[in-house]
Amino acid sequence: MNATHEKLREEFDAYVAEDKKIEPKDWMPDGYRKTLIRQISQHAHSEVVGMLPESNWITRAPSLQRKAILLAKVQDEAGHGLYLYSAAETLGVDRADLIADLLSGKARYSSIFNYPTLTWADMGAIGWLVDGAAIMNQVPLCRCSYGPYARAMTRVCREESFHQRQGYSIMMELMKGTEDQKAMAQDSLNRWWWPSLMMFGPSDKHSTHSSQNMKWNIKRFSNDELRQRMVDMTVPQAELIGLKIPDSDLKWNNETGHYDFGEIDWEEFNNVLSGNGPCNKERLEARNKAHDDGAWVREAASAYAEKKSKK
């Protein structure tokens, strides 16, 4: 590192430590740029792949109202993907390259979207738990040091809050229903509980990016801190409507003021991350097919843009 570079780095660290925002044209360390491109693009891919398990249920929603709500939610997720790809592009990358990495299987997206949606109750569990976990993780990102990402998160979080409520409302409705409906809701919670806790990432001990990203004010809380908050928030919600969290080690701890909970199956998490989850292959095939089927739209849009710029 030469003297000028070292000085820039010191100024950057001091600026971030004062909780100020970094904007696209500001000087930033290569590592900061790189980690943001990684995180924002993974986040964008998660939104886009996240549409797949739910869109699977749009035609089978049990009423016109539920169909309209689910349709709006899935459209919101497409919108989130677009804001996030735009935020990533402010760091000097090309969206087409990011998407190519998703389609080839090189880039990551959230582990949660590699699980199947087997029943209508899964729309409830996803909204309640998956969007619930997303809010828990993303509200602190509204204060992230990188301006374009923080601003995108503000709008995303407002929409996620509606998503979470609609999911809980589906679970509430089912728990007021027949024995079969209650069993369907419980089965769904049993399948989605642990994968939702895995969304927060590896334990702090095994998290590779946390320590540096917390110094840079990208991350405000560690993976384990946010996971604990999620458990503390969700257990009373489950109890209120008569659902049982599938964890025999779960119990309130008076001393810590938090729930103690069982160990996550990290082998399952690592398996999903290495591409061997229940739906990894299916999700990538569906995204590749959608991309290929949409080629004519991109070609038409580019031809129109070129024609307009010539005029």
Chain residues binding ligand BYC by CB under 6 A are 38-39, 42-43, 46-47, 50, 77, 108, 110-111, 130-131, 134, 137, 198-202, 207-210, 213, 219, 223, 273
Torsion of CA 162, 195, 173, 248, to 10 degrees: -130
Residue 270: CB partners within 8 Å, gap ≥ 6?
Answer: none
Q: Give the nearer residue to ligand BYC in terms of CB position, either 142 or 273.
A: 273
CB of 210 to ligand BYC, least distance (A): 5
CB of 253 to ligand BYC, least distance (A): 24
Q: Give the nearer residue to ligand BYC in terms of CB position, either 73 or 245.
A: 73
The structure tokens listed for 229 are 């908050």
CB of 252 to ligand BYC, least distance (A): 26
Q: Give the nearer residue to ligand BYC in terms of CB position, either 124 or 201.
A: 201
| CA distance linking residue 157 with residue 273, whole number of Å | 25
CB of 66 to ligand BYC, least distance (A): 17
CB of 107 to ligand BYC, least distance (A): 9
Q: Give the nearer residue to ligand BYC in terms of CB position, either 123 or 175.
A: 123
CB of 46 to ligand BYC, least distance (A): 4
Q: Give the nearer residue to ligand BYC in terms of CB position, either 161 or 181.
A: 161
| CA distance linking residue 13 with residue 18, whole number of Å | 9
Buried (b) or exposed (e) across 11-27, using 16+ Cβ within 10 A?
A: ebeebbeeeebbeeeee
Q: Give the nearer residue to ligand BYC in terms of CB position, either 106 or 307.
A: 106
Nearest to 146 by CA among 88, 210, 208: 88
Reported as type and span, the H/E element at residue 23 is none
Instruction: Give CA 142 to chain center in angstroms.
Output: 14
Cα angle 214, 13, 44 (rounded to 5 degrees) comes to 50
CB of 110 to ligand BYC, least distance (A): 4
Burial class of residue 103 (count of CB atoms within 10 Å of its CB; 0-12, 13-18, 19+): middle
Which residue of this chain has its Cβ atom nearest to ligand BYC in the complex?
50
Q: Give the nearer residue to ligand BYC in terms of CB position, either 130 or 170.
A: 130
Do 269 and 203 touch, CB atoms closer than 8 A? Answer: no
